[in-house]
């Protein structure tokens, strides 16, 4: 299922950054290091283009795919022996009910104040895709971040290689005309590579523990309350690293 899309400034910034990085990488870094028509240059251009296309494709799907709606007729079955896990409110012990959407919340669902509805297995609302990251689009979001990290690091390697390959004579012949492109690309790629690598590492951690970002922050408070009360807290969906990987891998590959 897809959702409607309206203009978003953060999404426009991401799209411009992708096209700028692609253009400078292929037509400046690769061309000045290998020569675009040489065998190494052509091979690197093709590989980088494939990575960029996968990045654009997964980014587009993450934006347009609905993150997961709660069925209008959803009703928790408290007598279901196959699914004994029922989340309750922190206070009162009642089943979780969304007053804004006027329906019960399935386990791991949360109400998004930006999207103004409940989202299945909601991780967070991401302004950079102008959408929630939830059950239905977590896979493509994760893949997008992975390809984005690969593309940024690949581009940085080509940037550095191109710079080290430039001789003083080449610099004098071009009159420093590419200097601005190198500086802007460096200022863009370094923080992007660091930020996206940290984001990728964070989501790998979440996959290992079968958590969402929301559940992690809720767990920090629950752990503090448990320690304060002299009890032990364990995330209810954490089955151990192997079982978590098996469960989440099925979810991601499905």
- CB under 8 Å, gap of 24 or more: what pairs does 108-117 form? 108/212, 108/215, 108/237, 109/70, 110/214, 115/67, 117/69, 117/70
Kindly name the residue from 98, 101, 112, 126 that is annotated as catalytic. 126
Q: How far is CA 111 from CA 16, 76, 164, 189, in A?
A: 31, 17, 51, 34
Spatial neighbors of 78 by CB under 8 A, at least 6 apart, are 86, 95
The number of helices, as runs of H, and strands, as runs of E, in the chain is: 8, 6
Buried b (16+ CB within 10 A) or exposed e, 40-57: ebeebbeebeebbebbbe
Place of tokens 């190494």: 40
Instruction: Confirm whether 126 is a catalytic residue.
Output: yes
> What are the tokens at 187?
């200022």
Catalytic residues: 126
């Amino acid at each position: 299922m897809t959702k409607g899309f309206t203009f978003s400034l953060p999404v426009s910034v991401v799209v411009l950054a992708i096209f700028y990085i692609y253009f400078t990488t292929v037509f400046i870094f690769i061309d000045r290091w290998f020569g675009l028509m040489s065998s190494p240059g052509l091979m690197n251009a093709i590989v980088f283009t494939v990575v960029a296309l996968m990045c654009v494709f997964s980014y587009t799907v993450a934006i347009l795919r609905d993150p997961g709606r709660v069925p209008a007729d959803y009703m928790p079955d408290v007598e279901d022996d196959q699914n004994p896990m029922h989340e309750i409110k922190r206070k009162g012990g009642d089943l979780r009910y969304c007053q804004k959407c006027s329906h019960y919340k399935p386990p791991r669902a949360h109400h998004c104040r930006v999207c103004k509805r409940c989202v299945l297995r909601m991780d967070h609302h991401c302004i950079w895709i102008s959408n929630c990251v939830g059950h239905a689009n977590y896979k493509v979001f994760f893949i997008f971040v992975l390809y984005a990290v690969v593309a940024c690091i690949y581009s940085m390697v080509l940037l550095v290689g191109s710079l080290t390959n430039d001789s003083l004579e080449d610099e004098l012949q071009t009159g420093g005309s590419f200097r601005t492109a190198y500086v802007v690309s460096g200022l863009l790629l370094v923080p992007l590579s660091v930020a996206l690598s940290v984001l990728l590492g964070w989501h790998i951690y979440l996959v290992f523990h079968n958590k969402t970002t929301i559940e992690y922050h809720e767990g920090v408070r629950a752990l503090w309350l448990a320690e304060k009360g002299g009890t032990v807290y364990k995330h209810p969906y954490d089955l151990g690293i192997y079982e978590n990987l098996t469960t989440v891998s099925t979810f991601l590959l499905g």
